[in-house]
Amino acid sequence: MKNKELRIKYQLSDDISELRAEDQELMRRAREALKGAYAPYSGFQVGAAVRLANGEIFIGSNQENASLPAGLCAERVALYAANAAYPDVPVEALAISVHNPKEPHLQPATPCGPCRQVLEEAEQRFGQEFPIILGGDGSQLLILPNASTLLPLAFHADFLKKDSPS
């Protein structure tokens, strides 16, 4: 038996000016996208902004439903819209922001499990990693270098192929 170990690296910042100008803009767009959240059940508003390699930005916000599983997270709304409009253009960066009017001063929140799976596939399908920048109400930012940091040992397309162990 072999012992294996996985380590992850990520960054914390308290100063948005430490980000590249285009990533500062992406976080601004994610914060703005919060306004489109439909979250009457949880009260937890999420905004997301995706920048593609062609410079186009797509936004999304969480969309809840009385039939709870029918709702969709903000990052998937944004990613699917981007991929539907430009199926051949890789994702360059993703910013996500959270806010709850009844719980001021929220810290950045990391994406849920199904979103991690979708982010992972967005990297795999284009063979290109992208940073994920997370923000809350304050100045704190959490920056992940790529999706696989969020989902080590992920399930991916190669497992669907016969005779091709990953």
Cβ nearer to ligand THU, comparing 43 with 152? 43
Cβ nearer to ligand THU, comparing 38 with 159? 38
| CB-count exposure of residue 60 (10 Å: 0-12, 13-18, 19+) | buried
Helix (H, G, I), strand (E, B) or coil at 67: coil
Exactly one of 115, 132, 133, 142 binds ligand THU (CB under 6 A); which one? Answer: 115
143 binds ligand THU (CB under 6 A): no
Closest approach, Cβ 37 to ligand THU, in A, equals: 8
> Residues 60, 77: contact at Cβ < 8 Å?
yes
Mark out the alpha helices in the chain (DSSP H runs): 21-33, 74-85, 113-126
Helix (H) / strand (E) element for 133: namely strand 132-135
Q: Which stretch binds ligand THU (CB under 6 A): 5-13, 37-45, 138-146, 156-164?
A: 37-45
Closest approach, Cβ 104 to ligand THU, in A, equals: 17
Exactly one of 44, 80, 86, 126 binds ligand THU (CB under 6 A); which one? Answer: 44
Question: Per the structure block, which two tokens stand in for 36?
Answer: 């489109």
> Residues 9, 129: contact at Cβ < 8 Å?
no
Q: Which of 22, 25, 32, 75 is catalytic?
A: 75
Chain positions contacting ligand THU, by CB under 6 A: 39, 42, 44, 46, 62, 64, 71, 73-75, 111-112, 115
Q: Which residues are catalytic?
A: 75
